[in-house]
Chain A
Amino acid sequence: MHIKKERTNLAGLMPVTGNYKEADLVLLLKQRDRSAFDYLYEQYSGALYAVILNIITDRETASDILQDVFVKIWRQADQYDPAKGRLFTWMLNIARNASIDFTRGKQFKNSRKHLDISDTMGHLPENIPFDTDRIGIAGIVKRLPGEYGKLITLAYFRGYTHEEISKEENIPLGTVKTRIRKALIVLKQLL
């Protein structure tokens, strides 16, 4: 998804055509350049939406979350630190956190009251309707062997800490950490 567009940099000196380089995009975003933000949306909204759908399967709710995510990206652009990683990674984390935060909200909990968390986890692939287990990160997680998929689902999509997983799954903390890391090494190879 490469969107070719014409824009003017903030100083209005010269029009730039084509894709933004990461550093330029970051600089323009921090300068509150609307064109850069527009580009960011066109380029990444679909990828972030897919990850939100991995956590919140309802499309309408996921759309609301996506809206909140982009508002946060715009308003919190100053907080992004390139030394810590790429812009997309930062945005992905905002999307993931916003989604997990929503699942922990009162409304969401009430709507899922009848579902036991362990039950949800155990049947997660089946419970996610239509294509949401094939998009975003869930698509890869589904392909992880054995217990790895469950651990990543808990850690990444549910936002459980290692300690919480250790308690829930009755696995020693050190083992949780080791398995999650091994699972991610496999996940990387599946990308």
Chain B
Amino acid sequence: MDIKAYIESGIIESYVMRLTSPEETADVVSMMSAYPEIAKAVNDFEISLEQHLTANAVVPSPDVKQAIWNELNPDFLPVIKEDPAITGTAVRRPATWKYLAAASLVLLLISAVLNIYYYNKYADARREYNGLLAERSSLFANLDAAQTKLNVLDSSMQMMKDTAMQIIAMTGKNSKATVYWNSRTKDVYVLQNEMAKVPQGKQYQLWAIVDGKPVDAGMVGDCGDVLCKMKNIPRAEAFAITLENAGGSAVPTMSQLYVIGKV
């Protein structure tokens, strides 16, 4: 079979233009399926004919299209009904919107309720938090006070542990006090072991007895349970405490001698 001769015989073009006899037509169809070159030749001519006619087209009146659509309208409708995908969306769409609208309303309500609930929880938590915050500051303040006291006690303790520290116990009627005298630095501290509370306008005054004469060693403040730092005393034979008017006196009021102790 000479394919080339067959293709060039003009039968291909005759076939495409439908100018072949029924026998020839059947022959070309079977040749097309048997020989891809023949199928290609047919297709090539069809495409060039199609392109030529498309390029040299005459646009019909828009009425023609309208008339076709009008005529086919009954044909179109059942096809649309038969299509479950199209019918499905067309029917389901409004239902879906209603459902979505209802769902969003429900969600809005739930959201509002939750907002109130969580706002109340938040307010409670806020109140609790503020209470805890106040408690915490007072605890901190207490801790600070305790810390300060501890520091003072600790420093007193350190002083008493100092080997240079001389301890002079002073005693009197129902009263007891102690002088801590650093023999190296000559610093003097006093501890009120058991002293009566001073009346209004009065103050205890410490005296150092130097060469038999009283020397002012300072006023004893309200130092609580800790040591009160007094004046520096270079030397002394004894220490004593008298009750004097607030601010102190130049000479001790001997009638008001509370305690005395020898070094």
Contacts and interface: CB of A to CB of B under 8 A. Distances in A.
Chain A complexes with chain B:
yes
Interface of A: 1, 10-12, 32, 34, 41, 43-51, 53, 63, 66-67, 70-71, 74-75, 83-86, 88-89, 92-93, 96, 135-137, 139-140, 155-156, 162, 180-182, 184-185, 187-188, 191
A181 B60 contact: no
B174 interface: no
B67 interface: yes
A184 B14 contact: yes
Contacts of A48: 53
A71 B13 contact: no
Contact of A49 (B16, B17, B59): B59
A51 to B, nearest CB: 7
Interface string B49-82: 1111110111111011101100110011001000
B11 interface: yes
Contacts of B63: 63
Contacts, number: 122
Contact of B11 (A67, A83, A181): A181
B57 A1 contact: yes
A44 B52 CA distance: 12
Interface residues of B, number: 46
B85 A11 contact: yes
Nearest to B43: A86
Contact of B58 (A50, A67, A85): A50
B94 interface: no
A67 B48 contact: no
7 contacts: A49-B60, A63-B60, A63-B63, A89-B16, A135-B58, A185-B8, A191-B48
B89 A12 contact: yes
Contacts of B54: 1, 43-44, 46-47
A46 B85 contact: no
A133 to B, nearest CB: 12
A74 B72 contact: yes
Nearest to B45: A188
Interface of B: 8-11, 13-14, 16-19, 21, 29, 32-33, 42-43, 45-54, 56-61, 63-65, 67-68, 71-72, 75-76, 79, 83, 85-86, 89
Q: Is the contact region of chain A dominated by helix, strand, or loop, or is it mixed?
A: helix
B91 to A, nearest CB: 14
B40 to A, nearest CB: 12
Contact of B14 (A66, A71, A180): A180
B85 A86 contact: no
* Interface-centre pick from A46, A74, A136 (highest chain B CB count, 10 A): A46
Nearest to A53: B58
Contacts of A71: 68, 71-72
Nearest to B21: A162
A187 B8 CA distance: 13
A46 B58 contact: yes
A139 B2 CA distance: 33
A85 B50 CA distance: 12
6 cross-chain pairs, A with B, having the tightest CB-CB distances, nearest first: A181-B10, A46-B57, A184-B13, A47-B53, A12-B85, A88-B50
Given A46-B60, A49-B59, A89 B10 contact: no
* Interface-centre pick from B8, B48, B67 (highest chain A CB count, 10 A): B67
A75 B48 contact: no
Given A47-B50, A86-B46, A135-B56, A187 B13 contact: yes
A156 B19 contact: yes
B72 to A, nearest CB: 6
Nearest to A2: B54
A46 B72 contact: no
B60 to A, nearest CB: 5
